[in-house]
A and B are shown apart, each in its own frame.
Chain A
Amino acid sequence: MSALPVLLAGTVGVGTQNHQAEMWAPALAAAGLAATVVWLPTGSEQAAIDRGRSLADDLGLALQVSETPDTPAAGAIVCLRGEARRAFAEYAVAQQVPVLLDKPTLDSTTELEAFAAAAGTLPVLPGHHLLSHPGFTRVLTAVRGAEIGLLRAVHADMVTGGGESQADELRNLGVHLIDAMRMLTGPATVRLQAHGGADGGPRTFLGKTDRGVVLSHHISRACAGASLPRQLRLHLRVIGTHGFVDADLTKPALEVRTVDGTTAVPYAGGSAVRHLQMFASIIRGAARPASASDFVTLSRALDGMAESAATGTAVSVTW
């Protein structure tokens, strides 16, 4: 099967992070995808253009800076924000190009409403690659198949080490766990109390769905500013009426012990490759994600959590 051509739209990242270059592009080939062009919207800042040119050079492709892309593609991986993201949605709808949208909830709910209005029913896969982690998908299968009985509780923690601290780690990091939780619970209303400082750093919540499923999570970044960011903890525990599952999502990995210390060597492919494989299925029409309006629902839930943390009172959110 030949590789599916995809457009790499934008190189916007969090701080110096560049998902387009560092995460998506290196995983394309393993997922059966091939980049056709690196595209940036007219008016992009020089730093973005420099990043785009560097990525294009690495891939041996042209960098295109224009109002809209003029290179055909079967899909687009979009690392844009705000109005540029919304405008791209109009182009994607016109061309009927499915989109993988990196970090959707770093836009505000208002911006996402505008994006969803522009995207309509276009297939848009969020870049929440945790959802494609083989450990998570196995757990999801177990929950949906009642292998542990009916779902009673979900507890999840994510601690990232290093990297750049962000204004709102809930919308940056925490959304991965929230999205995973709602995959497990299905549509739900959750009564919850969240915690977290006004600096937007560590976030914790405890809640209960209208079906009585107890949920909690914690996300934070330790040692912000250190180089070589990596997951210090990514742990999911799911309790059912007839059993429970404990999943360490920093694995599958080997453990190598030497006199200098212990290191982990992941195997079986990363979640980014698997997420791109899912995107390839969407491009082929073999799978279909929720519409972009789903991001609005998710974003409103995150807004509710932020409100709870800020006010110190319990709130109800729907996802």
Chain B
Amino acid sequence: MSDQPLGIGIIGVGGIADSHLAALRTSTDARLIAVCDVVVERAQRVAEREGCAAYGSVAELLAAPGVDAVICCTPNLTHEELGHQVLAAGKHLLMEKPLAMSPAGARSVAEDAADRGLTLMVGHSHRFSAQSLAIREVIDSGAIGTPRFVRVAMNGGWIWPGWQHWVLNPELSGGHSFHNGVHLTDLAAWWLGEQADSVFASGQHATSEALQIFDYLVIGLGFPSGASAICEISRGDNPRGAAYAEITVVGTSGVVSRDWDAEGVLAWLDHGLAQWGPDGIAPATFDRELDSFVAAAQGRAAVEPPVAFAVHAVDVAAASEESLATGETVRIGAAA
């Protein structure tokens, strides 16, 4: 255990890195040491703003003095290789989800971390949102009895860039099951307290018939206990500006729901109804995730989610993509 702030390096400073950088600004337990990016100018701009070092290669970042741990924010295809590279350098690793783009790849990285005695955490950030934690508390309180069904819907319109973007390329992202689906299926497994053993998925190319990923995706999960879950994620809804979130957990003696208007701030504007997130709710998710990672890396807490669940999320994503391709139910094995 150390009372020194954990030195953090970030690989890849596009997109989701902004949320990690914001969390680092407020953390007293971690300190940003360096960033790197394949576009070195982009890394330099971030470094100038954040007051850290900038590099154009992963090797340089890993060799930088003071880097104890790495947050990896690169496209999904790179996760497995970069994971091994970071661990081989003796650094703790917070890998953005998914852990890898194949079950074998996920297990390989997980085993590598375990063999080296390093902390591996995967950024299933939704576990750290206020609403998710509140639902977990309701379940733990016993108020709804034993949970046996979860519905998670996180829908919205198109938020990705144009055709060039890597998320739209299944060879780079793995498909929507890997890119966003893992968030929802992980929540279901977490709340139900077990890992799925069957997966059936349906999807649509809602925004364009030419899409190679399903921008509208629904994953159905079956669990050994007989519990089930429906996980729905959309980036193809119309109107594009709509954001719809619904979570329902049904137990043997009650229901807990996070309805679409749960955050309580609604605005009727010239262009229609809008939901305004109350201040501070969204950033706190990444603050809590960072705190959790630092605590695990410093030996003060267990990794959240447990690595086995992060590997399972990859199993489910792979099964979901297979189900989308075949129209059949895919059975998956026990925990990693």
Separation of A206 and B219 alpha carbons in the complex (Å): 8
Which residues of A187-212 have CB atoms within 8 Å of chain B's CB atoms? 191-193, 195-197, 202, 204-208, 212
Q: Is A314 an interface residue (CB 8 A)?
A: yes
Interfacial chain A residues near B229, Cβ < 8 Å: 204
Chain A binding surface SS class: strand
Contact between B252 and A206 (Cβ–Cβ < 8 Å)?
no
Interfacial chain B residues near A244, Cβ < 8 Å: 155, 237, 242, 244
> How many of chain A's residues touch chain B, expressed as a range?
35 or more
Contact between B228 and A149 (Cβ–Cβ < 8 Å)?
no
Interface string of B198-239 (1 = CB under 8 A from A): 101111101000000000101110100010111010100111
Q: How far is the CB of A307 from chain B (nearest CB, A)?
A: 13
Interfacial chain A residues near B201, Cβ < 8 Å: 206
Known: A155-B153, A155-B232, A222-B144. A206 touches B327 (CB 8 A): no
Contact between A246 and B252 (Cβ–Cβ < 8 Å)?
no
List the one stretch of B53-61, B71-79, B254-262, B275-283 in contact with chain A: B254-262
Q: Is A161 an interface residue (CB 8 A)?
A: yes
Q: Is A17 an interface residue (CB 8 A)?
A: no
Q: Is A312 an interface residue (CB 8 A)?
A: yes
Closest chain B residue to A203, Cβ basis: B228
Interfacial chain B residues near A195, Cβ < 8 Å: 198, 220, 222, 226, 228
Interfacial chain B residues near A202, Cβ < 8 Å: 148-149, 226, 228, 250
Interfacial chain B residues near A197, Cβ < 8 Å: 226
Contact between A314 and B328 (Cβ–Cβ < 8 Å)?
yes
Closest chain B residue to A199, Cβ basis: B226
Q: Is B248 an interface residue (CB 8 A)?
A: yes
Q: How far is the CB of B193 from chain A (nearest CB, A)?
A: 16
Separation of A208 and B226 alpha carbons in the complex (Å): 22
Q: How far is the CB of B148 from chain A (nearest CB, A)?
A: 6
Separation of A192 and B228 alpha carbons in the complex (Å): 14
Contact between A218 and B238 (Cβ–Cβ < 8 Å)?
no
List the one stretch of A74-82, A177-185, A234-242 in contact with chain B: A234-242
Interface string of A237-260 (1 = CB under 8 A from B): 101111110101000000000000
Q: Is A8 an interface residue (CB 8 A)?
A: no
Q: How far is the CB of B87 from chain A (nearest CB, A)?
A: 37
Known: A153-B216, A312-B222, A312-B329. A222 touches B230 (CB 8 A): no
Q: Is B151 an interface residue (CB 8 A)?
A: yes
Interfacial chain A residues near B216, Cβ < 8 Å: 152-153, 214
Known: A206-B220, A218-B151, A237-B246. A193 touches B254 (CB 8 A): no
Separation of A161 and B149 alpha carbons in the complex (Å): 15
Q: How far is the CB of B8 from chain A (nearest CB, A)?
A: 40
Separation of A242 and B237 alpha carbons in the complex (Å): 8
Q: Is A220 an interface residue (CB 8 A)?
A: yes
Q: Is A223 an interface residue (CB 8 A)?
A: yes
Separation of A202 and B192 alpha carbons in the complex (Å): 15
Q: Is B7 an interface residue (CB 8 A)?
A: no
Interface string of B306-335 (1 = CB under 8 A from A): 000000000000000000000111010000
Known: A212-B204, A314-B329. A206 touches B230 (CB 8 A): yes
Q: Is B251 an interface residue (CB 8 A)?
A: yes
Separation of A232 and B255 alpha carbons in the complex (Å): 7
Q: Is B253 an interface residue (CB 8 A)?
A: yes
Separation of A243 and B148 alpha carbons in the complex (Å): 31
Separation of A195 and B148 alpha carbons in the complex (Å): 11
Contact between A223 and B254 (Cβ–Cβ < 8 Å)?
yes
Interfacial chain A residues near B148, Cβ < 8 Å: 202, 220
Closest chain B residue to A242, Cβ basis: B238
Q: Is B145 an interface residue (CB 8 A)?
A: yes
Contact between A239 and B237 (Cβ–Cβ < 8 Å)?
yes
Contact between B257 and A233 (Cβ–Cβ < 8 Å)?
yes
Interfacial chain A residues near B248, Cβ < 8 Å: 157, 233, 235
Separation of A192 and B216 alpha carbons in the complex (Å): 17
Q: Is A29 an interface residue (CB 8 A)?
A: no
Which residues of B119-172 have CB atoms within 8 Å of chain A's CB atoms? 144-145, 148-149, 151, 153, 155
- Of A204, A207, A232, A246, the contact of B202 (CB 8 Å cutoff): A207
Contact between B254 and A216 (Cβ–Cβ < 8 Å)?
no
Known: A193-B329, A242-B238, A244-B242. A223 touches B232 (CB 8 A): no
In the complex, besides A205-B220, A312-B198, 13 extra interface pairs with C-beta distance below 8 angstroms are A153-B204, A155-B153, A192-B200, A195-B222, A196-B228, A197-B226, A216-B230, A218-B228, A222-B252, A233-B250, A235-B248, A314-B327, A314-B329
